[in-house]
Amino acid sequence: MSKHRARNIVFVFSDQHRWCSTGFGGSCQVRTPFMDRMADEGVVFDLAVANIPVCTPWRAAFLTGQYPLTTGMFMNDVRLPTDRPTLGTVLRAAGYDTAYIGKWHLDGPSRGGFTPPGPRRQGFDFWAVGNCTHDYMHSLYYRDSEAPLYWNGYDAEAQTSLAIEYLRTRGRDRRRDRSQDRKQDRPFALVLSWGPPHNPYDAVPGRYLDMYPPEEVEVRPNCPDPARTDLAGYYAHITALDDQLARLGGVLEEQGLMDETVFVYTSDHGDMLGSQGRQRKQHPWDESIRVPFVMRCPDQSDRDQSDRAHAGPRIGTPFNVVDIMPTLLGLAGIPVPDTCEGLDHAPAVRGEAFTGNDAAYIMSIAPFSEYRGQPWRGIRSAGHTYVRNLDGPWLLYDNREDPCQLSNLAGREEHADLQRRLDGQLQKEMDRRGDALLPAGHYLEKFGYEVNEAGAIPHDHVVSPPDRRSRPEHGGTTCDGE
């Protein structure tokens, strides 16, 4: 039994950060010293996967523990239903103070709209949120009124400052309550959601861009040279986020909260950035579906070396987005709702015997915008990626022998037995989920979605006022420093 209890949760995630663009994920270029430290001192899920690699669907699966065909959340800019348990509502019912800061993207097509207090906030009480914007230097958000507020400067820095303010308040309250032997020392759950490193890749403070001259950026073997400029900006965003994560971790230590807090960093999906000749997300290749997932928590940090040898600080079991909610609840000792479709991986974190899934189930149900290809379903295991589209088998990779997924084995006679086995495994997963892999129109009609010529849900665009001096700005009262 851990001498510390995993009471609190600080869950930080970014938008569009692929697993291979971290030091602990194998990159020799991008500078992520704090993420690497978390990996050294904590637990890494080496095969963390975005079941459906696009923003709104991932966020819905994270908060509900349910797959997209259960919730209907397989498109961007649709509203998450309020009729099921979410991470926020379950934690609040268990006595937690709940907080959400940053990008939401779960409240429908009004990207600049106000989410009022109540069920649409999905159980989060403290609220400093913009539905969706990637205007990182002029970013809109709301608190508890319809009056718009704007983060001061690079929004990830300002959002982190407000999160730090929240943590310091919690630390003060904790010390006060314990010194007075009061019982109001409630646990808390803070979710911090950053917009970067999602494009635009140059919307980052210049000091970070200066770290990565494009001509010095190396590209992956499956990526063309013209991607260097985008990669340089992408890496700049990631290093900026690493600095913000370090600030947050420092305050957890300073306030004496680290030893009783589950502290996580991950992302909602990756970014192709030219690999395989593709851009952005919604694709089944690793650059799109795999994300970093690193955590520090009391149950892990107290294991001795023999315990670490049993499970290892790097866990190779496939870890899908629907597994996050049950795992966080498991680490906090809170019963997992029956509605969750994911697995509780807390035993693996603690170094206990654990049997997970052999493969992660991945999909694109109704592709839109940058990716207007066919819908697809697939599985990603430690050894293989197998994907089927409407025409049949599409992709088959040996991920151990071919980590950059350069050689597609699908349809090759010498791999026919392997393909049949993996196709059968995929079919079992589809049958288990009631998924028939039908054309996108079937699912759009079933859930009542109307799309535009790009196949996307029509949405408004957030427009920043031209005169920033005349508007209120906020980044927490300490937005320019700690």
Catalytic residues: 55, 105
**Residue positions counted in the chain:** 482
Dmax (CA) for the chain in angstroms is: 74
Sign of CA dihedral 301, 346, 195, 289: positive
Question: In the block, which residue shows the tokens 């348990």?
Answer: 85
392-399 own/partner pairs: CB under 8 Å, 24+ apart: 393/419, 393/423, 395/284, 395/285, 396/422, 399/286
Residue 462 CA: distances (Å) to CA of 27, 141, 293, 354? 34, 10, 30, 45
Residues 427 and 360 sit within 8 Å (Cβ to Cβ): no
What is the C-alpha separation between 363 and 379, in angstroms, rounded? 8
User: SS3 of 333, please?
Assistant: coil
DSSP state of 126: E
Q: What is the dihedral of CA 194, 195, 196, 199, to 10 degrees?
A: 170
55-64 vs 324-332: helix crossing angle, rounded to 10:
30
Q: Residue 18, exposed/middle/buried by CB under 10 A (0-12, 13-18, 19+)? A: buried
Question: In the block, which residue shows the tokens 């009480």?
Answer: 125
69-75 own/partner pairs: CB under 8 Å, 24+ apart: 69/365, 69/433, 69/434, 69/435, 69/443, 70/341, 72/446, 72/447, 74/365, 74/366, 74/443, 75/366, 75/368, 75/449, 75/451, 75/456, 75/457
Q: Which residues is 48 bridged to in the sheet?
A: 319
What is the C-alpha separation between 75 and 451, in angstroms, rounded? 10
Pick from 369, 370, 361: nearest CA to 388: 361
Q: What is the CA radius of gyration of the chain?
A: 22
Q: What is the per-residue DSSP string for 205-220?
A: -HHHHTT--GGG----
What is the C-alpha separation between 54 and 367, in angstroms, rounded? 10
What count of Cα atoms within 13 Å lies in the side-chain half-sphere of residue 62? Answer: 22
Instruction: Kindly report the number of other CB atoms within 10 A of residue 27's CB atom.
Output: 18
What is the C-alpha separation between 66 and 86, in angstroms, rounded? 10
